[in-house]
Structure 1
Amino acid sequence: MGMSVTISAATEQDAEHILKLQYLCYQSEAELYGDYAIEPLTQTLDDLKAEIARGCALVARLGGEVVASVRGEADSTGTARIAKLIVHPRMQRHGLGGRLLDAIEAVFAQDPAVKRFQLFTGHRSEGNLRLYRSRGYAPVSREQVGPRLTVVTLEKEAVKGVRPGTFVASA
């Protein structure tokens, strides 16, 4: 491609770009489960801005374009809940999702209170499940939330001492 994908902290100014990308990326999930009212497709810009302000949000940029993002928050139990890992469809299957996941884990690993990472996906989302398993996540629960959707929660222990650096990856 000739350009590098850079990963950095998201800002409030990135919110609109993230929301548009989120809407694009979750179309395939909505189709897979036959539900276009899923939260990522109905989230408002104000809700997203609040989520960015209270947690950790990263974006991946190709030049000036936001092409991927991930968000998360640590709770009082020591669990960093990672959510909404999205990669533009044209950038998928090049390792960017895994690099973003590694980057947000590295950020949370700096917090001595964080003991584990947790995320979830739908039971039919094989690409997501494959990525998470390849990064050491194991299923800890399954919850049927509708006639077509079972949510699989996956978890892994936080590795301390991982030092976040400058996240630069070639696309």
Structure 2
Amino acid sequence: MGMSVTISAAAGEDAEQILKLQYLCYQSEAALYGDYSIEPLTQTLDDLRAELGRGCVLVARLGEEVVGSVRGTVDDEGTAVITGLIVHPRMQRHGLGGRLLAALEERLAGEWAAKRYRLATGQRSEGNLRLYRKWGYERTGSRVVTRAFTLVTLEKEARTALAASA
């Protein structure tokens, strides 16, 4: 008998599992850009715990195991910045990333009054870009970080998010 994945708010005791999963998930990004000093691989447990207290953090669980997570904060103008969307490699390509994204969008619009969503990923991260386009995000800009890495910014309005999840 299989278990189903549940999505809920992260608790303080989830920080260590989220950090370990983040480290695992960002290995492929680091390899893609040849840079293992990226922030998700160098973030400390204390920094992550502080981040958990500042915004909305969701986790996907398979039993007791955290197999996915996503984070978001909303600024004074109603722009939600979404970061840290991770899914365990063995759970990828089954729609879990989209479920996490939709759950976070819904929570940010409802509880945090988000009017629009913004996220960013590397220009070579085709899987991420494909997922975000599928969920209605459109490219709004880019910033060269290093010769090998350009950060692509994507956005969508909150009403688009509600229609896409309907």
TM-score between the two structures when normalised by the length of structure 2? 0.94
- TM-superposed deviation, 1:161: 10
Provide Cα deviations, 1:27-76, integer angstroms capped at 9, x if missing partner.
00000000000000000111101111010000000011000000110011
Matched residues in 2 for 1:102 and 1:6: separation? 13
Q: How does 1:19-168 map to 2 (within 5 A)?
A: 19-111=19-111, 113-159=113-159
Matched residues in 2 for 1:133 and 1:12: separation? 32
Larger helix proportion, structure 1 or 2? Answer: 2
The code of the aligned residue for 2:9 comes to: A
Matched residues in 2 for 1:160 and 1:129: separation? 17
Partner SS, residue 15 of structure 1: helix
Partner SS, residue 90 of structure 1: helix
- TM-superposed deviation, 1:114: 1.6
Per the alignment, residue 11 of structure 2 pairs with: 11
TM-score between the two structures when normalised by the length of structure 1? 0.91
**Conserved 8 A contact 1:109-1:160:** no
**Conserved 8 A contact 1:55-1:73:** yes
Q: Which runs of 5+ in 2 are unaligned?
A: none
**Conserved 8 A contact 1:110-1:160:** no
The code of the aligned residue for 1:29 comes to: E
The code of the aligned residue for 2:81 comes to: R
Aligned length: 162
Indicate the structure whose relative CO is greater, using CA pairs within 8 Å and at least 6 residues apart.
1
The code of the aligned residue for 1:155 comes to: E
Matched residues in 2 for 1:108 and 1:89: separation? 26
Q: Which runs of 5+ in 1 are unaligned?
A: 163-171
The code of the aligned residue for 1:61 comes to: R
